[in-house]
Amino acid sequence: MKSAYWMYAGPAHIGTLRVASSFKNVHAVMHAPLGDDYLNVMRSMLERERDFTPVTASIADRHVLARGSQEKVANNMNRKDEEQRPDLIVLTPTCTSSTLQEDSQNLVNRALISSMSDVIPADVNHYRVNELQAADRTSEQTVRHYLNKAIEKGALNRSVTNVPSANIIGISTSGFHNQHDCRELKRLLQGSGILINQIIPEGASLKDSKDLPRAWSNTVPHREAGPMTAIFLKKEFGMPYVSITPAGPSDAADFIGRIEGYINAWASVLSEKEKGVDYEPYVVNQTRFVSQAAWFSRTIDCQNPTGKEAVVSGDATHAASITKILVKEMGIRVRRSGTHRRHDTEWFNEQIQGLCDEILVTEDHTEVGDATARVEPSAIFGTQTERHTGKRINIPCGVIPSPVHIQNFPLGYRPLLGYEGANQIADSVHNSFNPGMEDYLSDVSGGHDTKGVVTKLSSNKEDPKRTTESQLELSKIPGFVRSKIKRKTEVFAKQNNISEITIDIMYAARESFSP
C-alpha cells in the first residue's frame, strides 16, 4: 500500500478507453463495478462531446462475484453488437476484473459466437501499466489486429501512394490540446506538399486500416501514445517513422528535415528521374514569417525574461519540449526539469541533457512541490497540480500537459505543435512571467494597491448591526454571493424596522426574496 492524494497518470483502463472511443464506430465494454465508467463524464464534460461516449460498463456486482461474470459480460457485448453494430468491441478490463482473474479471451470467444462485430480483449494489466502505457498498447493492438486480418484476407494494400504521404499516430480523446495539435500537424505536412494518409486513432475508421501501410512514413508527435504502433509498422511493413515532437521552431525544422530524408529515400527508389524534395525554403519561410516565435525571442521585450529562472514538469514529451524551448529559444534558465514517466527516464535524460541544472523523475506530486518551493523560480511550467503549488507559494504557472481541467480544453485554436504552436507557447511563457514594466514599476513605487480605498468609498455607513453568530453565518456563504445576500438582508431589516440582524432574520429575509 502506498499513501497517495494525486496521480499524474490515470489507471490502465482509461488509456484503453481513450483510444477505443477515439476510433470511429468502436465500442468499449468495461467489466467494472458501478461508478467506474468515469471516462464518460470526462469526455462529456471536459471535451464537451456531443455524442454519447461509446463505452458501456457491464456491471460487476455481488451476483457476479458469486456466479462469475461469464454470461453477463458476453451478453452485454452481444447486446451492444445488436444495438449499435460497431466495427469492433473492445473488452476492457479494470482493476476489479484483473483481481477477479477473469479469462478475457474466453469471454471474447463466447461473444464472438453470435456477434457480427469484431471483438478483442484489451491486453493491459491494471497493476503493471498506467493510462499512457495502456493507450499506447491498445492502439498497437487494434492496428495489429486489423492489419493481420487484412493480410489473411489478402486485402492489404502495400503500394505506396503516388505522392509523398504520412500517417499521424497518437491523436486521441482527452489528450492535452490534441485536436488543435492534429490540425496544426496537418497544416505543417500539407504545407510542404505531404498527403495525410490516415490519422489514428482519432476519427479513424478501422475499415480503412488496411491502407495504413500506403503512407511513405509515420509521424508520432507524442511519446505517450503511438510509439508502439509506429514500431510495429516499421517491423512488419518497413515504414520509417519520425518520433520528433515538432514543438518550437527548431524541433519543427528537425521534424520536417527527417521526413524530407525519408521522402527522398523513397523517391530515388520509385523513379530515378525524381529529384527528391527540398523543404529548406519552406522551413525558413515558416520560421521567419509564419511563426513569430523566432522574431519574438529577438525583440527587446524578450530581454526581460532572459536569465530568469523556471522549473518544468509534466509528461515526457511536453516537459522535454518546453525545456528545450525555454532554454534554446528564449534564454530562460531552467533550474529543474522533470517527468512522471518513470519508464521513459532514459529518453528524457537524453533529450534535456545539459539544458537544466537538475532532473527530477518522480510520480509523487509532493516531491515536485517541495523541489519547486526550494528553487523559488520566477515561473513554473507544469500540470494543474503545479499550478496549485504555484498559487500557494505565489509563483505564476503555465499549464503545459495533462492532468488538466476544463479550461485546458479551450474552444479557440491553441496548438502546441508546429509554427502556430510556437506562437502559442511563446505567448504562454511570456504571460507567465510578470510583464517587464509592471515588475519594474511596482518595485520602484513599493506597490500601488488601491483596493482598500475603493472598498471604503462604496461601503454603506448606516448598516444595521449584526450579531456575532450572524456574522459567522455570513462568512459561511460562498464569496461570490456573500455581498449580495448581505445587502438584501440589510434591505429586509430596514424595511421591517429591525435594528439587529440575527441568523433567524437572515433566513427570514432569504425566504421573503422573490425572484
Closer residue to other proteins in complex, CB, 440/507: 507
Closer residue to other proteins in complex, CB, 95/150: 95
In single-letter form, the type of residue at position 146 comes to Y
How far is residue 68 CA from its own chain's centroid?
36
* Beta carbon of residue 370, minimum distance to other proteins (angstroms, whole number): 15
128 binds other proteins (CB under 8 A): yes
- The partner residues of 200 in beta bridges, in order of sequence, read 169
With contact defined as beta carbons under 8 Å apart, do 202 and 47 qualify? no
Catalytic residue among 208, 301, 370, 439: 301
Q: Which of 1, 113, 453, 457 binds other proteins (CB under 8 A)?
A: 1
Q: Which residue has the cell 530568469?
A: 308
480 binds other proteins (CB under 8 A): no
Closer residue to other proteins in complex, CB, 174/424: 174
Task: Give, for 183, the enclosing helix (H) or strand (E).
Answer: helix 178-191
- Span 229-288, contacts to other proteins by CB under 8 A: none
127 binds other proteins (CB under 8 A): yes
Using the rule CB under 8 A, give the single segment among 111-119, 225-233, 317-325, 465-473 that binds other proteins. 465-473
Residue 201 phi/psi, 5-degree rounding, is: -85, -15
Task: Give the DSSP letter of residue 161.
Answer: P
| CA–CA dist 306, 297 (Å, integer) | 9
Residue 301 known to be catalytic: yes
| CA–CA dist 495, 489 (Å, integer) | 10
469 binds other proteins (CB under 8 A): yes
16 binds other proteins (CB under 8 A): no
| CA–CA dist 492, 181 (Å, integer) | 55
Cis peptide, bond prior to residue 403, ω within 30 of zero: yes
Q: Which of 62, 273, 298, 456 binds other proteins (CB under 8 A)?
A: 62
| CA–CA dist 267, 216 (Å, integer) | 10
Three-state DSSP state, 119: strand
Q: Which of 434, 473, 486, 498 binds other proteins (CB under 8 A)?
A: 473
Query: How many of the chain's residues bind other proteins (CB under 8 A)?
Result: 66
Residue 89 phi/psi, 5-degree rounding, is: -110, 125
Binding mask 32-51 for other proteins (x = CB under 8 A): xxxxxxx-xxx-xx--xxxx
- Span 63-102, contacts to other proteins by CB under 8 A: 65, 76, 83, 94-96, 99-100
- The partner residues of 382 in beta bridges, in order of sequence, read 399
- The partner residues of 32 in beta bridges, in order of sequence, read 59
Active-site amino acid positions: 301
Binding residues vs other proteins (CB under 8 A)? 1-7, 10-11, 13-14, 32-38, 40-42, 44-45, 48-53, 56-62, 65, 76, 83, 94-96, 99-100, 126-128, 130, 385, 388, 403, 405, 468-469, 472-473, 476, 503-504, 507, 510-515
